[in-house]
Structure 1
């Protein structure tokens, strides 16, 4: 029997909650296995070139342990995939609308806070959506932002009020699952970068976790509230610094011409689990 390595142990801890999510959403092992093959092939072909040429199917087969036929099948599938799903596009556009409302001076009140907006007219919510969400119907965007509580309607004026500075879908919706994929992928990429940074010569990326394992249950309600409030405040301060540098908001960069860009950010997530023998509540 193969000896369990620290990486095996870490991988199992990742897969355990992932298996729970997959089973809850009706994804059987065979479908997950197919996705794992695809991810192995894509990583072998894209992340392990020698700087001169891309790895061949034969080399990818050796690296992944798959047959050349299977590598070819997965490569052809990947070549036909679209870069962004409809759910991802919807979530990204809704987020951009909220970000534009927060940072674009045209949609701010005198004090620099997001202004109350009419649905139609000059510098209205419809204008905001047109500027930051392309061809998405303003009514569809508004209905979604109202649904998740990001926007409300002022009872006296009937104008739209931004209640939260971030769009976060709810439940196991397609958009929420897209965020799940982005967040976990970003975390693993950061850890991988920090594990190999000595070889690459690049500086480490910030990665910290605050953890205690003997907290009384009666403290938890206050802790959840405090952690959420402090985390939201920190993210809003970081957003105030970084948001105005985004080309979509600053309206910078030549239209229609490719320019170098970097995707960057900071993720904060809260966690808790029982440390006794009782099963945690779902």
Structure 2
């Protein structure tokens, strides 16, 4: 393995292992999943390139035995539908769908049911098969809504952030980290003019006292930027704007995250 790739992989795994350690995941479980993922990727790559994805071929590439490959190809990984996706769809509908906005273009206070528009109608339109009662309980739990006069529902926040101990945070681990890795992989194999946007800025000799102000600055400005991106994507997504023409079905988006960590030694400040 290339030395730089080995170092990069170690950094990724070390961060991941902290989560696995806290969640009590045995190393054997991790290695089994790693084997499963490798076999699935090799099979996908062979198939997409027009080659035969035989058990023997996969075994040769992965270094696993034919018996292991056979068992892994027969195994199924259960995918959990992220609950927070339904909440986000309802939230976006409330923020952008004219039927659920007031005269000032802001999210209207909605009767729970009966009157038009109602919270029940909003949930039916955007949440799939989740009941309006369950959605209300969930949105109350994460402090997105409250109820006012005669049970009407009022939106409290335009941002959904899962609880610290919520399973949604673990679902974000699977979706967000994989998307970042996919972006980096894309940028490694295409010409420079076809690379996806991938940038960060960081300095490594900052006093702790300035970080609260920087966190607040990032939270405010990054949120406003994401709201602008969200508005544009909403207007061009066929689920919300059926009149949009075009071919294929693509996912696109932008992720922003904050990071900080102590530095073990003095290094030169830099910007990436």
Q: TM-score, normalised by structure 1?
A: 0.86
Corresponding position of 1:143: 137
Alignment of 1:164-243 (within 5 A): 164-198=157-191, 203-243=194-234
Map of 2:65 onto structure 1: 67
Cα 1:58/1:142, change in 2 over 3 Å = same
Matched, 1:152 2:160: no
Q: Secondary structure at the residue paired with 1:161?
A: strand
Q: Residues of 1 paired with 2:23 and 2:217: CA distance?
A: 31
How many angstroms apart in 2 are the aligned matches of 1:229 and 1:40? 40
Task: Please list every run of 5 or more consecutive structure 1 residues that lacks an aligned counterpart in the other structure.
Answer: 278-282
- Matches of 1:32 and 1:142, distance apart in 2: 37
CA-CA distance at 1:202 after TM superposition: 7.5
* Structure 1 stretch displaced more, 130-139 or 164-173: 164-173
1:14-61 alpha-carbon deviations (Å, 9 max, x no partner): 111210101111111111111100100010001233632442111111
Stretch deviating more after TM superposition (137-146 or 266-275): 137-146
Give the Å deviation of 1:63: 1.3
1:58 alignment partner, SS class? helix
CA contact (8 A) 2:237 2:244 kept: no
Q: Pick from 4, 8, 17: which aligns with 1:6?
A: 4
Decide which moves more: 54-63 or 33-42. Answer: 54-63
Find 2:99's aligned residue among 87, 102, 106. Answer: 106
Q: 1:50 to 1:150 in 2, by over 3 A?
A: closer
Aligned to 1:28: 26
Structure 1 contact 150–162 (Cα < 8 Å) conserved: yes
- 8 A Cα contact 1:152 1:162, kept in partner: yes
In the alignment, which residue of structure 2 is the partner of 1:266?
Answer: 254
Q: Which runs of 5+ in 2 are unaligned?
A: 266-272
Structure 2 equivalent of residue 85 of structure 1: 80
Question: Residues 195 and 25 of structure 1: is their aligned pair in 2 closer, same or farther, counting only changes over 3 Å?
Answer: same
Secondary structure of the 1:166 match is coil
Q: Is the Cα contact below 8 Å between 2:95 and 2:158 reproduced in 1?
A: yes
Range with greater deviation from structure 2 (243-252 or 178-187): 243-252
Over the residues paired in the alignment, what is the CA RMSD in angstroms? 2.2
Number of paired residues?
Answer: 263
Q: TM-score, normalised by structure 2?
A: 0.89
